[in-house]
Amino acid sequence: MKRKFKTEIDAHGIRALLSRHPEIRKLKRYNTPSFHGNRFWKSSWLLMDYFKKNRLAKGSQVLEIGCGWGLTSIYLAKYHGAKVTGVDIDPAVLPFFDLHCQYNGVNISRIEIGYEHLTEEILSHVDILIGSDICFWDQMKDTLEALITRAMKAGVKKVVIADPVRDPFKELCKDIALMYKSDVTFCEISDPKPILGEILTITA
């Protein structure tokens, strides 16, 4: 008898398509992400769980950096009434973002740009800057630190970054603690599966 494998996860009210989903397989034939944007990452569920417990004001302007397939962006647009924009450096990732928006019935704008190029002018229109699993190479710590500095200068109210506690993220947290009012919280969730990690929050 042929075994039937799941092709998507339904959690936190979001449909997340797995690599074996026929539409994902089709997209993967023509789009090969270069910076680990080849799937959605566990920390995105941590970020959703954080916002479930720390609700956003309706209409909040949110920028998700390194958005990948965009699950948290979709969650905040759909369930918090946030005005979200996804940012990713990799053009090969954005078709997966668009497909998830379509499957979840939301329309979210996205920009193809490296977060190192987000200017104070762009950031001045943002209330909350978020990201999950975006600090995985050593050089990303410095780039993110500079971005957070620009964001704070531009008047961004809060930065929230979820991570599976990779070394560059730990270094980022240490440096940020010396510069801004920040907090690092251990988190553990069981839905859609057991996931551990940390959330860095920085408040203006």
Helix residue ranges per DSSP H, 54-181:
71-79, 94-104, 120-123, 138-154, 167-179
User: In the 8-state DSSP scheme, what is residue 155?
Assistant: T
Q: Binding of ligand SAM at residue 89 (CB under 6 A)? A: yes
Nearer to ligand SAM, 63 or 173 (CB): 63
Tell me whether residue 59 is exposed, middle or buried, using C-beta atoms within 10 angstroms of its C-beta: 0 to 12, 13 to 18, 19 or more: exposed
Q: Using CB under 6 A, which of 48, 76, 82, 87 touches ligand SAM?
A: 87
Please count the residues of the chain: 204
Q: Binding of ligand SAM at residue 180 (CB under 6 A)? A: no
Q: Using CB under 6 A, which of 14, 37, 82, 202 touches ligand SAM?
A: 37
Nearer to ligand SAM, 66 or 95 (CB): 66
Q: Using CB under 6 A, which of 14, 48, 66, 74 touches ligand SAM?
A: 66
Q: Using CB under 6 A, which of 16, 44, 56, 184 touches ligand SAM?
A: 44
Task: Give the residue from 59, 48, 52, 112 showing the smallest Cα distance to 83.
Answer: 59
Backbone angles phi, psi at 196, to 5 degrees: -120, 155
Note the residues at the interface with ligand SAM (CB under 6 A): 35-37, 40-41, 43-44, 65-69, 87-90, 93, 114-116, 132-134, 136
